[in-house]
Chain A
């Protein structure tokens, strides 16, 4: 299983992690954060060849930030956003977008999608007409274009509702021209970790069925649950720096008035806890828990993180996470049965570590404790029950 860097603000940290620390297998580019003519300057050809470009048509009528530098972005081509207009220009958009990806030597040709806040009944028909068919046709007209990946945003209802789920899987698997899926799970959880075992097991089931159909599955915008998702054998999961790169949302793709915002609490990733620990919990750990440093995995950044005044803009926070999480993925057994047992054991170890913290009277809040881990465990059982039917 591969790990891709999910680019966003300060993607240079991902590039440094990749080139200097040897972390990750490639990158998913974010055009909202880089001008079109800067890509080849910032990323060497050999890096682009193992990476792919997400055209980010999620909000096609808002060419926010650097999206305005991409000639094929819908807002830069269309005068209106009526379905008729979109259909009329869809081939031009598709051709330019695919040629751009090929010319820059990316590993895949990505078919974009748009974001629906509320899923319309004809969502799949719209996506077929505006994106899928024009992109497949134009792809066939470009010599040696890299293989196609279809971007799919999965709404919670499409995971919960079996009918909608099979409709979506049928739609995805209907196109033999497509090599794989760039899968994005859209959710509205207000917690930092996903704690709904049913949702998690449905994610696993969804990935599993796509894999059974012979598709590559690249899961974007994953947080620590990417580790759990490995049970369904996706082709790749992602590592992203800020929270908005570890959980999908359209806010960062919207044009907004700039203003001052309170930065989030800096958090340090612990692979031994499968959790991000806020810097405000470090002092009590230091004072009350013997060998507390052992709760954090080794990395070139650990020493610095545990002994320095942090703010959330410190790149070491994220480079530490990239290093540790990728190592965790690399250590997974390739045999899926062994992998499942291995992960279950790691979850148990993490729960024991949380028990140890508790036994020394250190209190962690619900966004930093181990309350997501029993859900992981249950999700595995539910997934196993479903797939062994």
Chain B
């Protein structure tokens, strides 16, 4: 059985992710849905914030179908994110799975999820610096509801260290095949 709407897919997945976060509170994670960013509105962002500055950001795009469009959308989020993911309904993901090579080349994560709560990670992207300082600042100011000055340092655009702790999330049993 497939998800009927994108909302249903995202809501269900995020419930599961929140459970994951609760068990990993020490990572100082925050999240926000539908952040208006240059080039699109990611359905969900997860970020690590220290002293009101963002140290690491993951952008997520949910799609029921049209994985190719989702891939291109997610790629645009690499302007301001350290990792980006496309999350698809497993029942409608065959074509995307066949093309996982394109996700790997573009360094975009691919996850499938189904109504039975099964998560399968087909591609973990390599943590990377966002492509653009400018767009990162814009997104940071949206998230923090504050104006980020031109010259203000934003650690997450300079380093991928923040990814170290977050990368531990990948080892969580929910994200790995048992």
Contacts and interface: CB of A to CB of B under 8 A. Distances in A.
Interface string A229-260: 00000000000000000000000000000000
A280 B72 contact: no
A280 B79 contact: yes
Interface stretch (A8-16, A68-76, A119-127, A361-369): A361-369
Contacts of A366: 72
Contacts of B78: 284
Nearest to A310: B134
Nearest to A364: B72
A388 to B, nearest CB: 38
B76 A280 contact: yes
A221 to B, nearest CB: 27
A363 B106 contact: yes
Interface in B106-132: 106-107, 130-132
B28 interface: no
B135 interface: yes
Interface string B48-77: 000000000000000000000101110110
Contacts of A365: 69, 72-73, 76
Nearest to A358: B105
Contact of A280 (B69, B71, B106, B135): B135
A287 B107 CA distance: 14
Contacts of B131: 283-284, 286-287
Interface string A54-77: 000000000000000000000000
Nearest to A363: B75
A20 interface: no
B79 A363 contact: no
Contact of A283 (B40, B69, B73, B132): B132
Contacts of B106: 361, 363
Contacts of A287: 131
A309 interface: yes
Interface in B7-52: 38-40
A284 B72 contact: no
A195 to B, nearest CB: 16
B107 A361 contact: yes
Given A284-B78, A284-B79, A363 B135 contact: no
A265 interface: yes
Contacts of A364: 72
Contacts of B72: 363-366
Interface string B89-117: 00000000000000001110000000000
A365 to B, nearest CB: 5
A280 B73 CA distance: 11
Contacts of A362: 75
Contacts of B71: 363
Most buried by A among B38, B73, B131, B134: B131
A120 B105 CA distance: 53
Nearest to B137: A309
B82 to A, nearest CB: 14
Nearest to A309: B134
Contacts of B105: 361
B75 A284 contact: yes
Given A309-B134, A361-B106, A278 B39 contact: yes
Interface string A40-57: 000000000000000000
Nearest to A278: B39
A384 B94 CA distance: 42
Most buried by A among B71, B76, B105, B107: B76
Contacts of B134: 283, 309
Contacts of A278: 39
A170 B69 CA distance: 45
Contacts of A279: 38
A334 to B, nearest CB: 40
Contacts of A284: 75, 78-79, 131
Most buried by B among A265, A281, A283, A361: A283
A297 to B, nearest CB: 23
Given A363-B71, A363-B75, A365-B72, A280 B107 contact: no
Interface of B: 38-40, 69, 71-73, 75-76, 78-79, 105-107, 130-132, 134-135
24 contacts: A265-B39, A279-B38, A280-B39, A280-B40, A280-B76, A280-B79, A281-B76, A282-B132, A283-B130, A283-B131, A283-B132, A283-B135, A284-B78, A284-B131, A286-B131, A361-B105, A361-B106, A361-B107, A362-B75, A363-B71, A363-B72, A365-B72, A365-B76, A366-B72
Interface of A: 265, 278-284, 286-287, 309, 361-366
